[in-house]
Amino acid sequence: MKIAVLGTGEVGRTLATRLAGLGHQVTIGSRTADNAQAAEWAAANGGAHGTFATAAAGAELVLNATAGEHALAALTAAGAQNLDGKTVIDVSNWLDFSAGFPPKVVVPDEGSLVEHLQAAFPGARFVKTLNTVNIKVMVSPQEVPGRHAIFVSADDAGAKAQAVELLRSFGWTDEQITDLGGLATARGTETYLNLWLLLYGKIGHGSFNISLVEGAVQGSAEAAVESATESTVEA
């Protein structure tokens, strides 16, 4: 498959390397056609490099691996005409480091970054996934033992299925892949970064993830919510 990876940072280069290793035709995109990191990556991995627009134009699938605060600008540079009808997997998080560490998670008016991007590019089919783990775990889930979870949010069923296939190719199992539903559910995974950053500070490295562990089912979901609400009130 022809895949564009937008972003030449560590996340972009790592994703591009993994995808190229799986046999995909990968073009890594950046603001300028002569980006040194992109050229070095392409030479080492048998891929191609170019501007955001060049990468997106020739792609069947697009991954946004830019920093969250630059995502809108990067996709604008890629061009709506080059994104229309295509699955765009957004792995970015919008973080504000102006007050130091841990940074603040920025929440756009739309509720999440990916919804903000979808509103800006209505012709594209956005999927949010992989943003709840660090880059090593993204492409090699075996970095963390056991049944830990990766989440997927998308409105378009076809785009979601395409993203799930990509996750499987990285090594994520069906038991680990958790379909949260529509794109609005990314509000949960994006704001989870608040907890992820605290855990990172506590643990001291990023090779960790959370696990979804289910207990015995007792009553309806509505009853469970009501019980939790009552407990909170009593506390």
Give the pair of three-digit tokens for residue 6: 């937008």
Query: 223 pLDDT exceeds 80?
Result: no
Domain residue spans of the chain: 2-234
Reported as a pLDDT band with limits 50, 70 and 90, residue 217 is confident
Token output for 114: 């990916």
Q: How far apart are CA 194 and CA 188, in angstroms?
A: 11
3-state secondary structure of 139: helix
- Distance separating alpha carbons of residues 93 and 206, to the nearest angstrom: 15
Nearest-angstrom CA–CA distance, 190 and 105: 8
> SS3 for 152?
strand
Report the pLDDT averaged over residues 79-107: 93
Alpha helix stretches (DSSP H) within 32-156: 36-45, 52-57, 71-78, 80-83, 113-120, 135-139
User: Which secondary-structure segment (H or E) carries 226?
Assistant: helix 221-234
Q: What is the DSSP letter of 68?
A: G
pTM of the model: 0.90
Secondary structure, 3-state, 163-217: HHHHHHHHCCCCCCEEEEECHHHHHHHHHCHHHHHHHHHHHCCCCCCCCCCCCCC
2-234 fold: Rossmann fold (3.40.50)
Measured distance CA(149)–CA(213) in Å, rounded: 10
Indicate the average pLDDT of the chain.
Answer: 93
One-letter amino acid at 126 equals: F
Query: Measuring CA to CA, which residue among 126, 89, 78, 105 is closest to residue 15?
Result: 89
Percent residues over pLDDT 70 in the chain: 92
Is pLDDT of 219 > 70?
Answer: no
